[in-house]
Structure 1
Amino acid sequence: MTGISRRTASKFVFHKETPQVVSEDGRAKTWIVRGGNFAISVSEVEEGAVLSRGDNPEEYMVILPPRSASITVAADGASIEAEPDSLTIVPPGASQITVRSPGNVVQIFSKAATDILALAANASVYADGAPELAPVDLWPEPKDGYRIRHYQLAQYLNPNGDRIQPRCFRSTNMMVNLFGSFLTRRETNLLSPHWHDDFEQASLCFDGRWVHHIRYNWGADLTNWIPDDHAEMETPSVVIIPAWAIHTSRDVGEDGPESSLFDIFCPPRMDFASKPGFVLNEADYPLPVMESEQRTKTGGTLLSWQKSN
């Protein structure tokens, strides 16, 4: 049984909105939208633009969609060159992104980056603190310590594989599922309506046209019911789907042009993380020890994983 929907989805088509941040030199325009536990920052950048974090409290992710910018990421005395169609996980602390060729740069921050969340276009939506969401706890640190981790995404695609090819990665504080681009449209009899009890889902799209079908759950008061949402969205765009809202996504139009879908969750999803082989960088990050395991290990004393690691 699902709960009552507390809020509607935040829907954001970037080029139709005013950017929240414009750099002093005009080389970077940044749009920010948030969920209860995360913020998505999409920057349109020119060569020479710099995106810096002075002391970010937790890891954050950098996504370069296909046909996007080329950048250099520097943190903790190391640097890497990132090309389009890649994911980079940046360690806590100071970091800098320097743009080598123009395009788009996506950064995903956790709730700990309070300055970023405060700038979000939809910040007022979460003025109540999103009490319907599960508390956010950091998962265990990487096995070999915090550092820049970089993944070229093309290597995880099977050109002869299924239409839907998930590419799931996680860090200590978030998870992304970066589906391979779609060249054919989703059949209307193969949709997957579902809901999440205590976490949100952000669906970020850079190509194609999308309908994110959303049905909000009813309470006893008819005057508070929210109509179904089947609005078509241009790209690049993002939708933040609330907890308890029934949803499924479908790319629309003719077959041929690419469409893209990146799903974002914060904190990571245990159901995905606990499936062997599903999270492609699972070797880098230990799983939390769950309470049931702790009871076994400690003779019945209930401990959280933070207290035992």
Structure 2
Amino acid sequence: MTENAARQASVACFDTMKPQETDDAGTQTWITRGGNFVVAVSRVKPGAKLTRENNADEYMVILPPGTQATIKTADEEVELGDDSLTIVPPGPSTITARTEGLIARIITSNATDLLDKAWNAATYADGAPELAPVEPWPDPVGGFKLRHYPLAPYADPNGERIQPRLFRSTNMMVNLFAHYHTRRDTTALSPHWHEDFEQASLTLHGRWIHHLRWPWNANLADWRPDNHDEIPTPSVIIIPANVVHTSRDVGEGESSLYDIFCPPRLDFASKPGFVINEKEYPMPDLQGAKTVTKGTLLSWQKSA
């Protein structure tokens, strides 16, 4: 772990805080940033519109069960079913809600207009020098276009509790776990940390505890106590680099978890068959590149 103090985590519980945007139609949007990305979650009604005038790069849209929408770009229009992920190409785009519900957008830090509106913008006033930068991976096969993925076909209702559903784009990666109906075994948790990237955990159903432990450094004044707060949903947490973490759902009923990484994780992308849409997104040419390894392969950067 680093000798520097890890930054504070950002936790946003949307139903207990003011939205950062409310438009004329009453659409509320909560905006939380990390060092390399923004998570914008909107509560919509039918006809609500979420527009990006000219987004610089790809972004992702998550529709949970029960929410449906239509997305239009300069070249395409696609009806988005619920319980789905959509990768949106660079340029203009408009999402129009067809039902009431939540829509989550994950956009890189190139979206400076959203960075400035994030409720936790001050957390990154010094930038994020501890993180690997977003170096876009190769363009997708067939060029940039709308890519819509219904998630139900990748969940086995009779399968294991933990069912990863991993997708990536040129600039980010998301793990949309199949929804849980049983609670996690507290004798089989997975505390770990990431050396040079953050993890956002978006939770839209149930109640969650994100167990966090900050590393100690030489300055006692920098030390932080462990955190085991129980938080409601919908919510998102930005887990800083070097912070030991593991998450578990508590209480009764259905729960959901979406883990977000930006840039994509090379260790996950390097496992054949692990990323569902890997055939659409080529791997970077690692010849002459350097990798960062501390227990696991963490990130890819172009050589200096």
Same fold (TM over 0.5): yes
- Compute the displacement of 1:25 (Å): 2.5
1:171-223, Cα deviation, whole Å (9 max, x unpaired): 01100000001111001101000000000000000111100000000001112
Contact 1:5–1:244 (Cα < 8 Å) also in 2: no
Are 2:236 and 1:241 aligned?
no
1:124-152, Cα deviation, whole Å (9 max, x unpaired): 10010011111210111001000000000
Superposition RMSD on alpha carbons, in Å? 1.6
Paired position in structure 2 for 1:16: 16
Paired position in structure 2 for 1:202: 200
* Counterpart secondary structure, 1:125: helix
Identity over the aligned pairs, expressed in percent?
Answer: 58
The whole-number CA distance in structure 2 between the counterparts of 1:118 and 1:17 is 18
The whole-number CA distance in structure 2 between the counterparts of 1:162 and 1:266 is 27
Match of 2:275 among 274, 279, 287: 279
The whole-number CA distance in structure 1 between the counterparts of 2:16 and 2:302 is 44
* Counterpart secondary structure, 1:124: helix
The whole-number CA distance in structure 2 between the counterparts of 1:238 and 1:87 is 17
- Compute the displacement of 1:289 (Å): 0.7
Q: Which runs of 4+ in 1 moved over 3 A?
A: 1-5, 291-294
Structure 2: which 5+ runs fail to align?
291-300
- Compute the displacement of 1:100 (Å): 1.1
* Counterpart secondary structure, 1:218: coil
* Counterpart secondary structure, 1:287: coil
Paired position in structure 2 for 1:266: 262
- Compute the displacement of 1:292 (Å): 4.0
The whole-number CA distance in structure 1 between the counterparts of 2:158 and 2:236 is 29
Q: What pairs with 1:121-140 in structure 2 (closer than 5 Å)?
A: 121-140=119-138
1:81-105, Cα deviation, whole Å (9 max, x unpaired): 1121000000000001111111111
Structure 1: which 5+ runs fail to align?
295-303
What is the number of residues matched between the two proteins?
294
Q: What pairs with 1:10-89 in structure 2 (closer than 5 Å)?
A: 10-26=10-26, 28-67=27-66, 69-89=67-87
The whole-number CA distance in structure 1 between the counterparts of 2:135 and 2:62 is 23
Contact 1:288–1:305 (Cα < 8 Å) also in 2: no
1:264-301, Cα deviation, whole Å (9 max, x unpaired): 0000000000100010000110000114479xxxxxxx
* Counterpart secondary structure, 2:143: coil
TM-score if structure 2 supplies the norm length? Answer: 0.93
Match of 2:285 among 266, 285, 289: 289
- Compute the displacement of 1:5 (Å): 3.5
- Residues 1:247 and 1:5: Cα distance change in structure 2 (over 3 Å): farther
- Compute the displacement of 1:76 (Å): 2.7
Contact 1:64–1:106 (Cα < 8 Å) also in 2: yes
The whole-number CA distance in structure 2 between the counterparts of 1:305 and 1:218 is 31
- Compute the displacement of 1:60 (Å): 0.5
Are 2:149 and 1:147 aligned?
no
1:122 counterpart letter in structure 2 = N
